[in-house]
Structure 1
Amino acid sequence: MSSEGFDATYAIVVLVVDILIRVVAVIYVPQNRKPQTATAWLLAIFLIPYAGIILFLLIGSSKLPKRRREKQREINAYILETTEGMDRVTHDATFPSWLQPIVELNRTLGSMPLVGGNTAKFYTEYEESLAAMTEAIGTAERYVHVEFYLVSWDATTAPFFDAMEAAVRRGVTVRVLLDHIASVRSPHYRRTIKKLTAIGAQWRLMLPVQPLKGKYQRPDLRNHRKLVVIDGEEAFTGSQNLVDSSYNKRANIRRGLHWKDLMVRFEGPIVAGINALFVTDWYSETNELLLRETPTRARPKLPHALDAQVVPSGPGFDLENNLRLFDSLLYSAQRKVIITSPYFVPDDSMLYAITNAAYRGLDVQLFASEIADQAVVYHAQRSYYEALLRAGVRIWLFRSPTLLHAKHFTIDDDVAVVGSSNMDMRSFSLDFEISIMLHGRDAVNRLREIEESYRQNSTEVTLDEWLTRPLRSKVLDNTARLTAAVQ
């Protein structure tokens, strides 16, 4: 065959393969995906067919391997037994009529009940929350459960590690879970692993990407939860990782960038629900199902205690539990909605829920950061500001060099949500998250005070100002938005 004939045959084969890729993509990609996600993937495949299809095969499915999903279903039976405190829920005049259906929604999706008789203490200062968790570990008698997206042994977290080591020496069982990819990408990973081993903690990597060891799933499916449980008596959860507030990165240190987080210390029946998530994740990584342990101390019934419900979410569940909760609360709000989210990239349903609340005349406010550590997400987030501002949403940007990393929002004067979940499509579909829905005016009032402290350190964005931002910023924002739905 002449070189001309070979070239012609090769061109025909390439053309046929190219057409087949596009046809198969149109048939397969939209199946069980949101239209915006399917459209984004099809756009990538049509523009760059070979690279696009490889990317799709690598990260196009948000499902975990079958066995891991089966484990989630198995553990739901365990979670359903975590019902202590249901009789303490305060169904009085302060209980909104619209809240019970949302409680049932959460129960159906995540198995956890709403439980009463809880207390909550909020920590807004980074070192203060670390000190509180360290002190709590010092009181442990039976077990300490530690789970963080990112774990690092550094000068700031050293007392926490020392407390775990002292607990082990007292005969306390210390179990630690840390996300593989998040931790391995951070400074001090190797010495952190060595330290965990040296102090005698039982530790495991969450969602490890280790194909040579037979451990593999979509590499950007991550466990983003943050929690500490002491003896089943008290628990901490929120937005903070176990690392210095600079994340020990040279670029952050050079910029003077620090994270500002919110952690909450709970006591009461809700602790069993938080611990159930640790048990779930421990079982997924070790095949060891920890027995449920009852608290050793009787819990008194408090007259003004807090109702709380754990809402787990992530790729181990069939539905986007956190997104459904958030949207339901937004549509139920009657007067005020205040959102704090460092990474705010809503899907269409959430964007409609937020703007509809503003169009209904509610006081709707969003706290985000003036600066960011992730350029693409930062610009994608900014692309939504015009629509929000036109609807009447007030946007506050927390001033640099602090990155407001807290994740919470409040509805009217009655209900709040705190936890690890951002309001972005990654947190809705790709990350394991923990959210705690709270019912209680004392807790909401405390969060209102925290929101006011943010306001005092933020700059409000106006529509006129936003429309006059540089053309370069508009191009970057709108271009980054195209990547938001590629999941």
Structure 2
Amino acid sequence: MPILNVISPYLYYIYFLFVIVLTITILLDNKPPEVTVAWLLAIYFLPYVGAVIYLFSGVNWKKRKIVKQLPEVTFKTYLGPILEQQRHFLEAVSRKIDNDMAKTVSLVLNSSNAIITLDNQVDFFYEGGPLFERMVEDLERAEETIHLEYFIYKSDRIGQRIGEILKRKARKGVKVRVLFDGVGNFRKMSWRFKRELRESGVEVRYFLDPFNVLTGRLLNYCNHRKIVVIDGKTAYTGGMNIGDEYINGGRRFSFWRDTHIRVTGESVAMLQGVFLSDWYNSGGEKIIDERFFPEPEVVDNYLPIQVVCSGPDSDWYTLKKLYFNLIANANGEVLIQSPYFIPDESIRSALEASSLSGVDVHLIMTGVADKRVPFWVAHTYFESLLKAGVNIYFYEKGFFHPKMLVVDGDIATVGSCNMDVRSFHLDYELNMVFYGETVCKGLVEQFRKDLQECRKLTPDVYNKLSFPARLRNGVFRMIAPVL
């Protein structure tokens, strides 16, 4: 067509100028040399496609804020005096003793404004059935507010059961707010279910709605957090979304192993603050108010906890720094559970250095994959880890989905953060950090129990991997940063 013949040269020049702008942008981002080279090659040798992939996956949103207010800012705004008080205390303690716990508390406090709370009671759930039964009991007792935030909420049997409670409570005057991730929850919940929630008075919002013109370009950045806060007094967080598969394994798996937390006490206020920040960032009203932070019930149980948030536009990749700090400073044992294992160079080096220095490092990941590509890519990291003496296991009873790290039996972190680049750099995540042998003891016991359902990967077994499989794994590793 004549008009296309006229337009085509102009499109070429426009794209050429666009590539120059992208090149300058990439060079100014100061990313690691290998990352910079990879993006430049993608843009130059994959015309149009490479540029589109970079816009969705490579733009450094750390310098271009995605959301209006990060939880870290909320904490600083409303907990300023407490933050300063704790910083001064930790500085005094650090000068007197070489305390790994104090260092970890300081790292999290300084990088994400996460104060340490002391009066808390927690219950851990390792299967969905008991978790949802307890959650239903707590939801039934709600009198003022129910706040739910999930990466995935399915309108299946358990989703409908919880949904009925939400609708009934909303009709009775309880303020119910529900927040879903726009990408994670895509096609997981029926339009009818959402309509019924809204008609009952439940407020429903999406974090970075994929159908919104302004936020659709940010599809690569997901809210992976799982939070429930009831009346500002009881909260849940961890690795489980809402879906039948967490109870019975679903159609694909015979069993689903995960870890979730129920907490009462002072830490509930921190989880409430995260939810309210995410609600505001999703187009909801700014509802930071004292009525959402009632005086916590005294549980009379000394349990130090920090609530740690991280995201692509955070000032620091706090969760990655937390994992690195715990692994690098371990003295005796490192226990890791993660369904996916795609570490960046710093985490991999920390694991190798820790193992080579005599620390017992144990990693359990799923042996029954729900996503083949991340499972294949994980294998490309095993050779050097095995050589360094890291113990690697595949859980084979069913799908393995917990995200946990325990170091030396006295510091642990559990939450939504996988040990992969996506969780460290691209998604909004939330973990709780627990201090003390008492709380860690149960997590260590569960780890030992999980080992009984595992197959250990040995160097001999790894070396038998076929050439086509190694080649396939290596090819897919090139997209590891966005998996």
Do the structures match in fold with TM over 0.5? yes
Report Cα offsets for 1:180-232 as digits up to 9, x if no partner: 1111133x4323312322442111111112344x4444211110000111112
Deviations 1:300-351 (A, max 9, x none): 433xx21100111012412211101110111111100010011111000100
- Structure 2 counterparts to residues 43-442 of structure 1, below 5 A: 43-63=41-61, 68-72=66-70, 74-81=73-80, 83=82, 97-186=99-188, 188-212=189-213, 214-245=214-245, 253=251, 255-256=252-253, 258-285=255-282, 286-293=284-291, 294-295=293-294, 298-302=297-301, 305-399=302-396, 402-442=398-438
Q: 1:359 to 1:154 in 2, by over 3 A?
A: same
Q: Residue type of the partner of 1:289?
A: I
Number of aligned residue pairs: 467
CA distance in 1 between counterparts of 2:19 and 2:277 reads 40
The letter for the 2-side match of 1:182 is: G
Judged with a 3 Å threshold, the aligned counterparts in structure 2 of structure 1 residues 259 and 297 are, in CA distance, closer, same or farther, namely: same
Which range moves more in the overlay, 425-434 or 283-292?
283-292
What is the TM-score normalised by the length of structure 1?
Answer: 0.87
Q: 1:340 to 1:256 in 2, by over 3 A?
A: closer
Q: Decide whether the 8 Å contact of 1:157 with 1:242 is kept in 2.
A: yes
**Offset from partner CA, 1:23-50 (integer Å, 9 cap, x none):** 6555431433233432332232233133
Alignment partner of 2:474 out of 472, 478, 482: 478
Aligned partners of 1:369 and 1:404 also within 8 Å: yes
Instruction: Give the one of 442, 445, 448 matched to 1:449.
Output: 445
Q: Aligned partners of 2:168 and 2:432: how far apart in 1?
A: 30
Q: What one-letter code is carried by the residue in structure 1 that aligns with 2:244?
A: D
Whichever residue aligns with residue 423 of structure 1, its letter is M
Contact 2:307 2:433 in 1 (8 A): yes
User: How big is the shift at 1:83?
Assistant: 4.7
SS in 2 for 1:108: helix
Query: 3-state DSSP class of the match of 1:447?
Result: helix
Whole-angstrom CA distance in 1 between matches of 2:115 and 2:395: 35
- After superposition, give the CA deviation of every residue in 1:404-428 in whole Å (9 maximum; x if it has no partner): 0111110001100000011111111
User: Would the aligned equivalents of 2:121 and 2:299 in 1 still touch at CA under 8 Å?
Assistant: no
After TM superposition, the score normalised by the length of structure 2 is: 0.88
Is the contact between residue 246 and residue 257 of structure 1 (CA under 8 Å) also seen in structure 2?
no
Q: 2:128 touches 2:247 (CA, 8 Å); kept in 1? A: no
CA-atom RMSD, angstroms?
3.1
Task: Give the Cα–Cα distance (whole angstroms) in 1 for the partners of residues 340 and 470 of structure 2.
Answer: 18
* Match status 1:35 vs 2:37: no
Within 2, Cα distance between the matches of 1:147 and 1:443? 26
Instruction: Give distance in 2, aligned partners of 1:162 and 1:17.
Output: 54
Is 2:248–2:254's contact at 8 Å kept on the other side of the alignment?
no
Aligned to 2:374, the other structure's residue is in SS state: helix
- In structure 2, relative to structure 1, the CA distance for the partners of 1:388 and 1:185 (3 Å cut) is farther
1:362 to 1:114, Cα distance in 2 relative to 1, 3 A = same
Alpha-carbon offset, residue 18 of structure 1? 8.6
CA distance in structure 2 between the aligned counterparts of 1:124 and 1:13, rounded to whole angstroms: 56
Q: Is the 8 A contact 1:370 1:398 kept in 2?
A: yes
Residues 354-407 of structure 1, C-alpha deviations (whole Å, 9 max, x = no match): 11110111110001011222222111112111111111111110105x210111
- Residues 153 and 277 (structure 1), Cα distance of their counterparts in 2 relative to 1, 3 Å cut: same
Structure 2 counterpart of 1:282, one-letter code: W
- The whole-number CA distance in structure 1 between the counterparts of 2:144 and 2:290 is 13
CA contact (8 A) 1:145 1:228 kept: yes
Quote the Cα distance in structure 2 between the aligned partners of 1:440 and 1:273.
20
Q: In the alignment, residue 237 of structure 1 is paired with which amino acid? A: T
Instruction: Tell me, yes or no, if the aligned pair for 1:347 and 1:424 is still in contact at 8 Å.
Output: yes
Contact 1:65 1:217 in 2 (8 A): no
1:151–1:257 CA distance, 2 compared to 1 (3 A): same
Taking structure 1 as reference, are residues 175 and 70 closer, same or farther at Cα in structure 2, changes over 3 Å only?
A: closer
**Structure-1 separation of matches of 2:98 and 2:404:** 20
In 2, Cα distance between the equivalents of 1:410 and 1:196? 39
CA deviation after TM superposition for structure 1 residue 96, in Å: 7.6
Q: Secondary structure at the match of 2:287?
A: coil
Deviation string 1:439-461 (CA, Å, 9 cap, x unpaired) is: 02121110011111211111111
Shift in Å at residue 139 of structure 1? 1.4
Contact kept in structure 2, 1:208 and 1:216, CA below 8 Å = yes
What corresponds to 1:3 in structure 2?
Answer: none
Q: In structure 1, how many angstroms separate the alpha carbons of the residues matched to 2:254 and 2:227?
A: 24
Is contact 2:147-2:229 (8 Å) kept?
yes
Where 1:333 maps in the other structure, the secondary structure is coil
- Alpha-carbon separation, structure 1, partners of 2:268 and 2:77: 15
CA deviation string 1:66-121 (max 9, x = no partner): 5754422753434535959x99x999xxx981221221221122111111111111
Larger CA deviation: 264-273 vs 32-41: 32-41
Letter of the 1:238 partner, please give it: G
Unaligned runs of 5+ residues in structure 1 are 1-5
